[in-house]
Amino acid sequence: MIYEKIVTGTFIKRPNRFTAIVVINGNKETVHVKNTGRCQELLLPGAKVILEDRSHILTRKTKYSLIAVWKGKMLVNIDSQVPNQVVYEAVKAKQIPTLTNLTHLKREVSFGNSRFDLYFESTKEKGFIEVKGVTLETDSIAMFPDAPTSRGLKHVLEMIQVVEQGYRGIIFFLVQMKGPKLFQPNLEMDRAFTQALQKAKSSGVEIMVYDSCVLANSIQLDEQLVYKIMCA
């Protein structure tokens, strides 16, 4: 996933979930934040940020979209729209060893009351993939979610139904940074989600976790991470 045009800036504040005030080239700009999560440990006053320049789209209310932030020496992509694209590109490029012999791949396919990110078929099976972007990191441990997620809980529970009906079901966590070596669900933030993920794993749902190679203008799938099972 490559961004066509980027600029750098300094984060000032976030008035609401959708906008932030950033200094770009010495000027204060109201920018769009491409992540409605809290990102409290990332979006701190003075943080250096990367923005996508969308000023060529005349119908936009803002010229820029905030897509990444430096956390010390680690660049974290916070664009919540890219994980699906990154995983889709990786599957198509056969970068995931257990998903290389597919005959069909389609995005945004409904099952029950959910719309999962990817649907795939091979000569032996059919299945669904739900992708979750991970931007929270503490002490080199990546965690999800960074806020309670009823939507995420719904997806996990319906993925169990996917497996029960004979499909292959995968919940894919894309860690949008390079640095953490371990992933675990955020029990303290959302016990219900953690419990559901445990149930899903024991029901045959596959949990995949990969980190990313994040540059200022791009993000790509990189290495598989260890997944730690929590006791909820």
Answer yes or no: do 73 and 110 share one domain. Answer: no
| Structural domain includes residue 232 | no
Domain end call among 77, 93, 128: 77
Assess contact for 34 and 219: CB atoms under 8 A: no
Answer yes or no: do 205 and 147 share one domain. Answer: yes
Answer yes or no: do 73 and 96 share one domain. Answer: no
- Kindly indicate the confidence band of residue 11, based on its pLDDT and cuts at 50, 70 and 90: very high
Q: Measured in whole angstroms, how far is the alpha carbon of residue 43 from the centre of its chain?
A: 17
Answer yes or no: do 72 and 14 share one domain. Answer: yes
pLDDT at position 69 is: 98
- Kindly indicate the confidence band of residue 231, based on its pLDDT and cuts at 50, 70 and 90: low
Which whole number is the average pLDDT over 17-46?
Answer: 94
| Structural domain includes residue 86 | yes
Range of the domain at 111: 82-227
pLDDT at position 82 is: 96
Say what percent of the chain tops pLDDT 90: 88
Answer yes or no: do 159 and 223 share one domain. Answer: yes
User: Has residue 64 got a pLDDT over 70?
Assistant: yes
- Kindly indicate the confidence band of residue 57, based on its pLDDT and cuts at 50, 70 and 90: confident
Domain end call among 77, 99, 133: 77
Total number of domains constituting the chain: 2
| Structural domain includes residue 63 | yes
Answer yes or no: do 172 and 214 share one domain. Answer: yes
Answer yes or no: do 72 and 101 share one domain. Answer: no
CATH code at 217?
3.40.1350.60
| Structural domain includes residue 1 | no
User: Has residue 36 got a pLDDT over 90?
Assistant: no
Domain end call among 77, 98, 126: 77
Answer yes or no: do 53 and 111 share one domain. Answer: no
pLDDT at position 37 is: 84
Answer yes or no: do 93 and 70 share one domain. Answer: no
User: Has residue 212 got a pLDDT over 90?
Assistant: yes
| Structural domain includes residue 95 | yes
pLDDT at position 232 is: 61
**d(C-alpha 227, C-alpha 26), whole Å:** 43
- Kindly indicate the confidence band of residue 27, based on its pLDDT and cuts at 50, 70 and 90: very high
| CA angle in degrees (0–180, nearest 5) for 94-96-100 | 45
Say what percent of the chain tops pLDDT 70: 99
Answer yes or no: do 102 and 132 share one domain. Answer: yes
| Structural domain includes residue 116 | yes
Range from 32-36, 58-62, 87-91, 137-141 carrying the lowest mean pLDDT:
58-62
Closest CA to 179 of 215, 150, 140, 232: 140
| Mean of the per-residue pLDDT values of the chain | 94
Answer yes or no: do 65 and 118 share one domain. Answer: no
| Structural domain includes residue 99 | yes
Answer yes or no: do 56 and 88 share one domain. Answer: no
Which whole number is the average pLDDT over 63-76?
Answer: 96
Per-residue pLDDT tens over the stretch 139-180: 999 999 998 999 999 999 999 999 999 999 999 999 999 999
CATH code at 46?
2.40.50.580
pLDDT at position 59 is: 81
